[in-house]
Amino acid sequence: MTYDTMKRVIFLSFKIGPLNIENKVVLAPMAGVSNSPFRILARRHGAGLVFAEMVSDKGLIYQNAKTIKLLFMTTEERPLAQQIFGSNLDTMVEAATYIDTHSNCDVIDINMGCPVPKVALRAQAGASLMKNPDLIESIVKAVVSSVSKPVTVKIRSGWDEKTINAVEVAKRIEAAGASAITVHARTRAQGYGGKANLDIIREVKQHVTIPVIGNGDVLDGPSAKHMLDYTGCDAVMVGRAALGNPWIFQEINQYLKDGTMLERPSHTDIRHTMIEHLEALIKLKGEHIAILEMRSHGPWYLKGIEHASKLRRTLTQTKTKEDFIRHLDDFFRA
């Protein structure tokens, strides 16, 4: 390896505690999406780290069957971060300890940024914690001292535009011993609308020494590079832009390496990946649930493909694997 190549490899990687992440592109934890089959696709197509969908602290403590199933992972997905959410210090510690003992994940991530009402309002967890920096620091400190795996935290810019406090919260999180922090540069009030404010990520990066992962509006190679260059963050997190598009990770990696844009996947690649995704979901969850999930994933894969509107509608009503594949074959062979 030449010196220049070595410098490029080092530049394009980062660390979370002792864990080396091979590149700067990370899959976001998305509820109902970031399950094992989706994470495997992301890793195969170049995600350096994948986050599993969040699980409830109380769901783990009370051994809720659905919650426990969400912990399923394979070695192919690693390195992997398992995300948990909750608002009670004791139950968060108990849940984190359970994951530390019973999961092969590499990182334990605490969700302090989810904006959905059932989490942020009814459970007073997720982004609701942004209103209580003292509690955030206490939870992170207690979890860090109770587990052996690196602990990371995902936050928002703040609760709303009048209470943007990401810098203060990030400093508290670092002081509590976290190994990295992800900043979604929107407030809870914004939800997933409007534009992400990259200045917030930049300010957080300037005030902490632990790695900062930037989240919000990363759609392709140029937007990823802009976030990295403008904010100085250590990695970018890709969420909605990966829906139906696991190729985005290799596209961003290539752009970061040499500024070139990869060609979009062929129709053959798209069809093959959709079937691969479906079959993996069937193996994990059974045909009925897999088809229900692919009713969402299918149209995402077809976004931007000409004359696919009828197929998108058809896939949302498909009931069997046989029908799903037949509809794909009829379209892509036409």
Do residues 183 and 147 touch, judged by C-beta distance below 8 A? no
239: left (phi over 0), alpha (psi -120 to 50) or beta: alpha
In the residue annotation, 114 being an active-site residue is answered as yes
- For residue 58, count other CB atoms closer than 10 A to its CB: 18
**Class of residue 246 by CB neighbours under 10 A (exposed 0-12, middle 13-18, buried 19+):** buried
Packing angle of the helix pair 267-285, 36-44 (nearest 10 deg): 150
Exposure string over 208-230, b if 16+ CB within 10 A, otherwise e:
bebbbbbbbbbeebebbbebbee
For residues 82 and 66, give the distance between their C-alpha atoms in angstroms, rounded to a whole number: 15
Do residues 86 and 92 touch, judged by C-beta distance below 8 A? yes
User: How far is residue 272 from each of residues 41, 266, 268, measured CA to CA in Å?
Assistant: 12, 10, 6
Strand, helix or coil for residue 195 = coil
List CB contacts of 202: < 8 A, sequence separation 6 or more.
230, 231, 232, 233
Catalytic-labelled residue, pool 16, 99, 114, 294: 114
Lookup: tokens for 73: 């992972």
For residues 256 and 221, give the distance between their C-alpha atoms in angstroms, rounded to a whole number: 7
Strand, helix or coil for residue 164 = strand
Residue 55: its H or E element: strand 49-56
Do residues 107 and 149 touch, judged by C-beta distance below 8 A? yes
Lookup: tokens for 142: 């207690």
Lookup: tokens for 122: 């009814």
**DSSP label at 158?**
B
Lookup: tokens for 275: 């079937």
Residues annotated as part of the active site: 114
